[in-house]
Amino acid sequence: MSRTPASKSDRLRRRIDIEGIVQGVGFRPFVYQAALRNGMVGFVLNNPRGVRIEAEGAPHLVEAFVEVLRTEYPPLAFISRFSVDDLEPARDTEFCIRSSEHDAEVKAQIAPDASMCDDCRAELFDPNDRRFRYPFINCTNCGPRYTIVTGVPYDRPLTTMADFPMCPACRAEYEDPLSRRFHAQPNACPECGPQLRLVDPSGRGLGNDPLAETIRLLQEGKVVAIKGLGGYHLAVDASNEDAVQTLRRRKGRDEKPFALMVRDLESADRLVRVDDKERRLLLGIERPIVLLEQRIGNLVAPSVAPGNRYLGIMLPYTPLHDLLLAESFAALVMTSANFSDEPIAFEDEDARERLTGIADAFLQHNRRIHTRTDDSIARVMGGEALLLRRSRGYTPRSIFLPAVQPQVLALGAELKSTVCLTQDDRAYLSQHIGDLKNLETDQAFTGVIDHLKTIFELQPEIIAHDLHPDYASSRFAETIIDRPKIAVQHHHAHLASCLAEHGETGPAIGVIFDGIGYGQDGTIWGGEFLLGDLASYQRVGHLKQVPLPGGDASTREPWRMALSYLDLAFAGDIPDLPFLFGREPADVNLLQKMIRKKINSPLTSSCGRLFDAVAALAGVRQCVNYEGQAALELEMSIPTSPGDDNYDFSLESGDEVLLLDPSPVFRAVAEDSRRGVAPGLISSRFHIGLAEAVRMVCEELRSVHKLDCVVLSGGVFQNRFLTERVSQLLGKSNFRVIRHSLVPPNDGGIALGQAVIAGRVG
């Protein structure tokens, strides 16, 4: 600890202004208690920018106090600015918490929802506590935030807890600066707070003890819709194969894996392998679903994740979850309550209507969810956490931008939609909204925009959207009048998103591998090498284009892509291959005609489709049931020790653009598949070959453009094997590699990139 030199005065007074997520997270009681410990006089108050403190006392104690503020703040707090000024001593007589300053301009940030803390868990299971087994226990260190806020400032009347006047005991805690529940806005108890209710699909109450009855139904193999923090889950016993199959059938979800909620870390350890990084991710207050490698012979029903080496696992994050799992189940399937790709249900009436025929019963409660948020999904890659879906627990935490910019509303793309708003040098990326192709999602889309505008008091000056004119999000942009609109190329947005996430400005080489995105030239891009920064880009290389026979149909039927690539590789003279055996010769002929005559076969350089083609040819999958399935299964098929064999790509230089040609890869894959080489080996040779090709292209680009910073983005970089291999190879060649971490590499991260680009050029 440093001591200030003796000053003329024996007393020091300092003003400390703290910005960030510092309201509604127990910051003032923390300050108050630290002040008492250090013998300070003065005050603390909430103001529109955060928290202001004036503290006075002996100089060394003031120093110590400021140090405590800087380093020991509460778990949900997030400090973005911390400034200290000297003042003249005022000689107050005590330290107090003053009432909030009100002001039109509110910049203080709202915290994300947080999982139950250990103190609350101890009370939950303590028979002598007045909240023993109360499913809505919370405190300033945990509980709902973003999902219950209806406006700013964050205060009980502007949350859905306004419905519940506090009883005297709760009120006393709420007003006591020394209580863990001082100004805990969702504070409640069995006397005054929300209650559970179990109903059948017609809305009739079931049983006297909703929790016990729910557990009984689940044990019987029934499907129960359970209202959580950001919406409803559909739950079944994860060890009951019949129950899981029933849920799968009713939900219209053929093979997409279901997420599990497991009782605790030990239960998780029995199902999956968990390393240190993954353990920390599982236990974090955000409590995302973490993708983890299954242990062979675990007791999870096979239909939970068919054909998948991984399981999506999360730990309980509300008291209700703990009560459900503590005594009865090691693992429950807890999947978003929706039909196929519709947004998650979160309102009681709507849930009952939409889930009729899916759920046998509904465990509801009367604390309203104001904004829905899905569970977040994460994976550890190359020793770092990567969010594949950024939602509950993370939204609305801000992302710090490299510079201050005008207020932008960015509308994202089409699949895995999110929106992004910016203010000064901060970006707010919304929760996951879903695929923008049905009415429910469209309503959710406008709802999220309005909610973010309200809680951050934003009036966007510029609208950013995808270059694709037919995306619902682009058409939505057209309905906004009086604001300049900027169309951003899809893969440039991916590049900028990754740079901005890390506060970087570029320029960099962008290796952007994803499904499909609308190109500047009107063709479909997706396997791109860009050279760019936050304002502009140049397309310096790409995968050689092939026809997408049948357009969208080729996304659902990877065998079509295999045929397209074989046509390129063998110049039309395709050999007889095992993957074609199950196909009608007439279908194959027709498709070849379409490819050659370019009928309904737009050209694409998509990298996702390249993976599809290899998956089909290797015998992994001919048709998919959900987006990305073939590529995912191709990755999963790689054996634990894959060796170092690889297929070679060839590189052509066109007019100032490098063309990466996979023709030799397909000739080799065709040969291997004819010889019956295992799909897993074909897969690893392909993955390693592509990683080598990326290094080859980047080296070529470095020699011309003198740039050694490489950004990896696009949905293909959800692939762990490829990402780790590419990073390794580029690292060995002395490139600096920038990868996503808290912003998804898939289209869920697009809106951030759009916002930053529009902020620069708008």
Residues near Zn ion (CB under 5 A) are: 117, 120, 139, 141-142, 167, 170, 189, 191-192
Of 367-375, 416-424, 517-525, 678-686, which part binds Fe ion (CB under 5 A)? 517-525
Least distance CB 401 / Fe ion (angstroms): 21
Closest residue to Fe ion, based on beta-carbon distance: 514
Least distance CB 497 / Fe ion (angstroms): 10
Which one of Fe ion, Zn ion, none is in contact with 184 (Cβ closer than 5 to 8 A by kind)? none
Which one of Zn ion, Fe ion, none is in contact with 514 (Cβ closer than 5 to 8 A by kind)? Fe ion
Which one of Fe ion, Zn ion, none is in contact with 170 (Cβ closer than 5 to 8 A by kind)? Zn ion
Q: Which residues contact 123 (CB under 8 A, 6 or more apart)?
A: 129, 131, 132, 137
Tell me the three state secondary structure of residue 164. Answer: coil
Choose between 51 and 117: whose C-beta lies nearer to Zn ion. 117
Using an 8 Å Cβ cutoff, are 429 and 751 in contact? yes
Size of the site for Fe ion (CB under 5 A): 3
Choose between 120 and 415: whose C-beta lies nearer to Zn ion. 120
Choose between 167 and 535: whose C-beta lies nearer to Zn ion. 167
Closest CA to 114 of 351, 336, 382, 315: 315
Least distance CB 183 / Zn ion (angstroms): 13
Choose between 442 and 747: whose C-beta lies nearer to Fe ion. 747
Conformation bin of residue 639: beta by default, left when phi > 0, alpha when psi is -120 to 50: beta
Least distance CB 495 / Zn ion (angstroms): 41
Choose between 193 and 527: whose C-beta lies nearer to Zn ion. 193
Terminal C-alpha separation, the chain: 48
Cα–Cα distance, 245 to 251 (Å, whole number): 10
Question: Hey, what's the torsion of the CAs at 229, 232, 234, 237, to 10 degrees?
Answer: 30
Least distance CB 513 / Fe ion (angstroms): 9
Choose between 69 and 117: whose C-beta lies nearer to Zn ion. 117
Using an 8 Å Cβ cutoff, are 24 and 47 in contact? no
Tell me the three state secondary structure of residue 331. Answer: strand
List binders of Fe ion among 605-624 (CB under 5 A). none
Choose between 495 and 693: whose C-beta lies nearer to Fe ion. 495
Which one of Zn ion, Fe ion, none is in contact with 189 (Cβ closer than 5 to 8 A by kind)? Zn ion
Least distance CB 164 / Zn ion (angstroms): 8
Choose between 323 and 701: whose C-beta lies nearer to Zn ion. 323
Least distance CB 184 / Zn ion (angstroms): 8
Choose between 117 and 462: whose C-beta lies nearer to Zn ion. 117
Which one of Fe ion, Zn ion, none is in contact with 498 (Cβ closer than 5 to 8 A by kind)? none
Question: Hey, what's the torsion of the CAs at 221, 226, 229, 230, to 10 degrees?
Answer: 100
Which one of Fe ion, Zn ion, none is in contact with 85 (Cβ closer than 5 to 8 A by kind)? none
Choose between 115 and 422: whose C-beta lies nearer to Zn ion. 115
Tell me the three state secondary structure of residue 645. Answer: coil
Tell me the three state secondary structure of residue 209. Answer: coil
Which one of Fe ion, Zn ion, none is in contact with 669 (Cβ closer than 5 to 8 A by kind)? none
Of 54-62, 328-336, 550-558, 745-753, which part binds Fe ion (CB under 5 A)? 745-753
Does 466 bind Fe ion (CB under 5 A)? Our answer is no
Which one of Fe ion, Zn ion, none is in contact with 141 (Cβ closer than 5 to 8 A by kind)? Zn ion
Choose between 355 and 722: whose C-beta lies nearer to Fe ion. 722
Least distance CB 117 / Zn ion (angstroms): 3
Sequential DSSP letters for 242-279: HHHHHHHHHHT-SSPPPEEEESSHHHHHHHB---HHHH
Choose between 316 and 759: whose C-beta lies nearer to Zn ion. 316
Which one of Zn ion, Fe ion, none is in contact with 26 (Cβ closer than 5 to 8 A by kind)? none
Using an 8 Å Cβ cutoff, are 685 and 614 in contact? no
Choose between 434 and 517: whose C-beta lies nearer to Fe ion. 517
Choose between 278 and 322: whose C-beta lies nearer to Zn ion. 322
Cα–Cα distance, 130 to 176 (Å, whole number): 17
Helix 607-618 to helix 663-674 angle, to the nearest 10 degrees? 20
Least distance CB 607 / Fe ion (angstroms): 10
Q: What is the number of other CB atoms lying within 10 angstroms of the CB of residue 96?
A: 14
List binders of Fe ion among 626-655 (CB under 5 A). none
Least distance CB 168 / Zn ion (angstroms): 8
Alpha carbon separation from 633 to 560, 612, 618 (Å, rounded)? 17, 10, 11
Backbone angles phi, psi at 523, to 5 degrees: -90, 175
List binders of Fe ion among 246-265 (CB under 5 A). none
Which one of Fe ion, Zn ion, none is in contact with 747 (Cβ closer than 5 to 8 A by kind)? Fe ion
Cα–Cα distance, 605 to 518 (Å, whole number): 11
Sequential DSSP letters for 359-404: BSEEEEESS--SS--PPPEEEEETTEEEEEE--TTTTT--EE-SS-
Q: Which strands make up the sheet holding 41-47, listed edge to edge?
A: 78-87, 12-21, 50-57, 41-47, 95-97
Which one of Fe ion, Zn ion, none is in contact with 117 (Cβ closer than 5 to 8 A by kind)? Zn ion
Which one of Fe ion, Zn ion, none is in contact with 561 (Cβ closer than 5 to 8 A by kind)? none
Cα–Cα distance, 757 to 762 (Å, whole number): 8
Least distance CB 126 / Zn ion (angstroms): 13
- H-type helices in 21-117, by residue range? 27-37, 59-71
Tell me the three state secondary structure of residue 756. Answer: helix
Least distance CB 188 / Zn ion (angstroms): 6
Using an 8 Å Cβ cutoff, are 421 and 428 in contact? yes
Least distance CB 265 / Zn ion (angstroms): 19
What six digits make up the tokens of 343? Answer: 């947004």
Least distance CB 630 / Fe ion (angstroms): 17
Sequential DSSP letters for 53-64: EEEEE-HHHHHH
Given candidates 348, 414, 466, 514, which one binds Fe ion under the rule CB under 5 A?
514
Cα–Cα distance, 135 to 195 (Å, whole number): 8
Given candidates 56, 213, 528, 747, which one binds Fe ion under the rule CB under 5 A?
747
Using an 8 Å Cβ cutoff, are 42 and 13 in contact? yes
Of 22-30, 222-230, 338-346, 516-524, which part binds Fe ion (CB under 5 A)? 516-524
Least distance CB 123 / Fe ion (angstroms): 46
Of 315-323, 379-387, 543-551, 743-751, which part binds Fe ion (CB under 5 A)? 743-751
Choose between 338 and 489: whose C-beta lies nearer to Fe ion. 489
Which one of Fe ion, Zn ion, none is in contact with 139 (Cβ closer than 5 to 8 A by kind)? Zn ion
Tell me 712's DSSP state. E
Binding site for Fe ion (CB under 5 A): 514, 517, 747
